[in-house]
Chain A
Amino acid sequence: MPASDQNSVELEEKVEELNNKLKTGGFTGSYDIANSTLRLLRKVIAGSKWNNARELMDRVKSVGKLIVASQRSETSVGNMVRRVLKLIREEYARCRGNPEGGDVQSESLHRMFTDNAKTEDYSVPILNVDFKAVVIEAVNEILIELENSADNIAMQALEHIHSDEVIMTAGRSRTVEKFLKQAARKRRFQVIVVECAPFYHGQELAWSLADAQIDTTVITDSAVFAIMSRVNKVIIGTHSVMANGGLKSINGSHTIALAAKYHSVPMIVCASMFKLSPVYLCSSDQAAFNKFVSPHSVLDFADEEGMPHLTSTDC
């Protein structure tokens, strides 16, 4: 049908666009990436042709694989895809109802052992309800939760930040910024921001906090240990949380954590749900661990001595 062709072409375009933006680094943070991915998946669910949950899940998986491959170090993409797949399974189970008549508790270990004869392949089409609408409704819920995630965390600020405290933070995390600004409405405290070379996002955060009338100091990365003894709490954001509870975060976080441990300063990490990832990164050689960009911010291209690896020019 012409309409579906047009749809699929449009979808392909959107996927291409997202891929390109990921590759060229057009996003400013993992929140934006998660948001765009979720909206794209919603479009895919609404726009593609599928008959049952299995086909839908395959479609979502294939699109997800494409996007994940564009930028492996962005784990929030994979997280969002997995969440959508999970909610499809849940909605499927709920709509089918439970044939045994028990409570729909979906997969628990107990059920896996007792019901080993029955393997769910999600291929039965749901006829009594409009499955598409149900799934899209659920995706919208996740979207709302995503958009409110930073605010939800900020609401707990007053429990953690007390008056006349010295808080250290690093880089520019949207979540932490909201967190601190929320607390500043009721409490007076002081913030020390580590600027975090080579991008110096910490300086931008400092400007923003100063505009909100928070007492802010900017320090260099090397001064972290020296200042740590005067800090009451360290609050940082993170890029993603690994399966073992480890963080993939802005450079310098490890140093800050070690200094905090030495001085027994409590450290709080503010992370939304979409940052929790089942990925387990144990070695810096893994593809998803680092994102390597051009050296132009560190080395001067014009300077010949900065090119160490070239063999001598008389060849």
Chain B
Amino acid sequence: MVRLPYTTALTTLFSYGLLFAFGQLRDFFRKFVDWFKAKNVKGYAPICLGLEDFYVRRLYLRIQDCFGRPIASAPDSWFDVVERTSNDNNKTLQCTSNTTRCLNLGSYNYLGFAAADEYCTPRVIESLKKYSASTCSVRVDGGTTKLHAELEELAARFVGKPAAILFGMGYVTNSAIIPCLIGKGGLIISDSLNHNSIVNGARGSGATVRVFQHNSPAHLEEVLREQIAGGQPRTHRPWKKIIVIVEGIYSMEGELCKLPEIIAVCKKYKAYTYLDEAHSIGAVGQSGRGVCELLGVDPADVDIMMGTFTKSFGSCGGYIAASKEIIQHLKQSCPAHLYATSMSPPAVQQVISAIKVILGEDGSNRGAQKLARIRENSNFFRSELKKMGFEVLGDNDSPVMPIMLYNPAKIPAFSRECLRQKVAVVTVAFPATPLLLARARICISASHTREDLMKALDVISRVGDLVGIKYFPAEPPKIAEADAEITS
């Protein structure tokens, strides 16, 4: 739920209307100009129907330099961003050989494992020398090394489930697993703001998909009741199974899922639950075990827990943790396990080392320090931004904080001005977010120091004033003498 001034809603709609009108006008003239150009391909159908790529050609390409910026170093708290130039008004971009050292507010580097780490990196290099960069095989043939077995057992123990299975890619973990769990005749109820990988997996499974209002257990109950009473479409037979899919932290809102209430609703109606902890595993919770720990939910109550290693553990790939029977079934039926190359051994070693640091099994308390630091950093940053008058979404303790921009013109303004002042932020527009709710998404890391955060706050405050995104009144700074005067 976002609150915005009414005039902002009107001006945002008007801006999009204007951009749309200009885009259509340019397309119209382009049709005339291209009428006389000879077409080389005769008889072939066009790749896109005229209307389909309108958004990309006329809106996205105009501000293309704000997205997909290449970097030239490890994504630590400070990194090198490659400068790009364009000769044809952003239609194509060329990389130069210059780089700028910027503060990194965009990488999912929640615990600071993205750069070289004193415990992880030597072990990763050792495993690279011993097992080489790739197993060159699928898991069922020759691709399961001792490391894979160790990580599966460690991941299951970390999350609190009996067994786990690994995959080489986080996106594939969702899109290849969901079709193995449910098929035609089943029902998937997914949160309206779920990630594209879940949407893809749900579509690929062949089950009926219904959507419930974001983070609303009441609406979920309504949808469940309606669907269970109605049964399958047309035949009205009872559903074979019902799976409810939610995420731990929603990456575009920074919000935590209302897990206890949703689990209670699912248990009442005997639906299975699938929790995608891509952003929350390792980043929230007293010991980093994710939203279940943070919200006090027993992991045994969630049927399937999914997570990725890309965010908090500084590696690649994903895992599914569930009961032994489900994991056994997945190992025999999931194509990502049977036909895809197994995870690269150094990447596996990185995750093993990272989990050991988090659990404190490396013999130091660096893990606990990192967890405390990310919690402090996130809460500090969020409260400071709110005090300045920005509209910041997300719950406390969540390291993801989107700052609302709304107006399409403010997206490139904010992004470019921040880059000029050596702060790299990620701005997100349509279609990753709803049309009117464009935002700049900040990801806080445990490797950000207090000075980094103060610099970031300073830059964002100045740029926010220039761009005009302080939609709420700012809290005036408390003056201790004035308070003392009034009370005396």
Q: Do A and B bind each other?
A: no
Residues on A facing B (Cβ under 8 Å): none
